[in-house]
Chains A and B, each alone.
Chain A
């Protein structure tokens, strides 16, 4: 079975540009999570969805960040406008159910904002 798929794997952009990260969860999984990993802050949850509905976005750093899940097999994380401090690895993870289940991670997207 395919795991969590993320694209692109690497993204280099200039400050002020819009960035869109994409995620396809494991088929049949009902919950989807977006994490960010930086040297300074480690791994932190940005937002998660259950049955395509955003449940908790308290980890989204500011209004420049937005996330959508239009259907069960696709989610996007958008940063507009991007800033150098947004440079990080962004992970998407999915789980079968919201509570009581293991989260499986995608390969991550390494974002560099110049």
Chain B
């Protein structure tokens, strides 16, 4: 069974600085998807970034980028120029690409990010 581990329960960053959130996963599959979702106090789950395992190039979305290391099964999120609005719980998630009963997202336990002004 696949698992997702986020070893940092809480992180803090100064406004305008850069922070990296860690995520590791375990799978025997070769094709899958990885996601970072953001959950602000409003509870809404917001997609931040998505990575397909078959792509070697790391995904980027404006100030958000990932460091995807497939062999190491690592998928970290880098937030550059942190803003107060980035403060939220961040979840790393895994999804198989093979369909069937494996369509569910498997979430890590989350990292609570605080942004200090």
Contact = CB atoms under 8 A, between A and B. Distances in A.
A102 B50 contact: yes
A76 interface: no
B72 interface: no
Interface in A75-90: 89
Contacts of B103: 31, 33, 48, 55-56, 98-99
Given A43-B91, A89-B43, A108-B43, A102 B107 contact: no
B16 interface: no
A91 B105 contact: no
Interface in B45-65: 45-47, 50
Interface in B81-117: 91, 95-99, 101, 103-105, 107-110
Contacts, number: 56
Given A104-B47, A105-B44, A99 B105 contact: no
A56 B99 CA distance: 11
Contacts of B30: none
B75 interface: no
Contacts of A100: 33, 97, 99
Assign chain A's interface to a size class.
Answer: 20 to 34
B35 interface: yes
A105 B45 contact: yes
If over half of A's interface residues share one DSSP class (helix, strand or loop), that class is named, otherwise mixed; here it is: strand
A112 interface: no
B28 interface: no
Nearest to B52: A100
A98 B107 CA distance: 18
B104 A59 contact: yes
Interface of B: 33, 35, 37, 42-47, 50, 91, 95-99, 101, 103-105, 107-110
7 contacts: A33-B105, A45-B105, A99-B98, A99-B99, A102-B47, A105-B37, A108-B43
Given A42-B110, A55-B101, 17 more contacts: A33-B103, A42-B108, A43-B107, A45-B104, A45-B105, A48-B104, A55-B103, A56-B101, A98-B103, A99-B96, A100-B33, A102-B33, A103-B105, A105-B45, A107-B42, A108-B44, A110-B43
